[in-house]
Amino acid sequence: MKKLIIVVVIIGAVFGYFAFDLNQLLTLENIKANQVQFQQWRDGSPVLVSLLFFSAYVVVTALSLPGAAIMTLAAGGLFGLVWGVVLVSFASTIGATLAFIVSRYLLRDSVQKRFGDRLEPINLGIEREGAFYLFTLRLVPIFPFFLINILMGLAPIKTVTFAWVSQLGMLAGTVVYVNAGTQLAKIEGLGGILSPRLLLSFVLLGVFPLLAKKLTDWLKRKRATPGG
């Protein structure tokens, strides 16, 4: 019954989001057009505006609604680089963790029960190196944010580990987007923010810890082998 209630609430929230055209508020054009008004609100009530923005960001990410990237840009234009990064970093982590917990509560038992034998090798790998895999997935912005939350909710990784690795892994992308948002009036689209070279840098940075661990494990096994 509890699971059914949660599902109904989530569906209702997502339906309301689109039914009332709230998605139209989170467009680059709308944010740019209302930037001055947003800044006036911030100047008048900085704490309240920060809390409202933070809460809205948590809801958007927790429900896997479109608009998180636009809100990240808006954070830069509205709050500046430092405070914008702080707000987005913690709000995105909390939202992702909530989505992770809901996915685990609603889906994990049924999925593991049905596909447990097939998932066993994956489960073992996640138990050993889940933090490294998650860090890589988080660091590369091309992987869908919501999909990572859902899939990791099905895997044997601790909630605390998921939270801190997610925050650390998303930090570089957060800084890039928030920094770009400080020049919000000049931005014409999301595609121009992340160049292929920058994406490659994220990929290499994310893969490096995993490769380093693999190399360390290989060297340990070689030293433990007689004559190695």
Q: What is the pLDDT of residue 207?
A: 67
Give pLDDT, residue 172.
85
Q: How many CA atoms lie within 13 A of 3 on its CB side?
A: 9
What is the rounded average pLDDT for all residues in the chain? 82
Q: Is 71 exposed, middle or buried (0-12, 13-18, 19+ CB in 10 A)?
A: buried
The Cβ-side half-sphere exposure at 41, using a 13 Å CA radius, reads 13
The larger pLDDT score, comparing residue 189 to residue 156, is at 156
The answer to whether residue 133 scores a pLDDT higher than 60 is yes
Pick the range with the lowest mean pLDDT from 20-34, 53-67, 93-107, 120-134: 120-134
Which position has the higher pLDDT, 73 or 92? 92
The stretch 182-211 carries a mean pLDDT of: 66
Statement: residue 140 has pLDDT above 90: no
pLDDT category of residue 225 using cuts at 50, 70 and 90: low
| Structure confidence at residue 49 (pLDDT) | 94
Q: Are 111 and 150 in contact (CB under 8 A)?
A: no
Predicted pLDDT at 3: 82
Q: What's the total number of domains in the chain?
A: 1
Range of the domain at 29: 2-224
79-115 per-position pLDDT tens digit: 999 999 999 999 999 999 999 999 999 887 777 677 6
148: CB partners within 8 A, 6+ apart: 96, 134, 137, 138
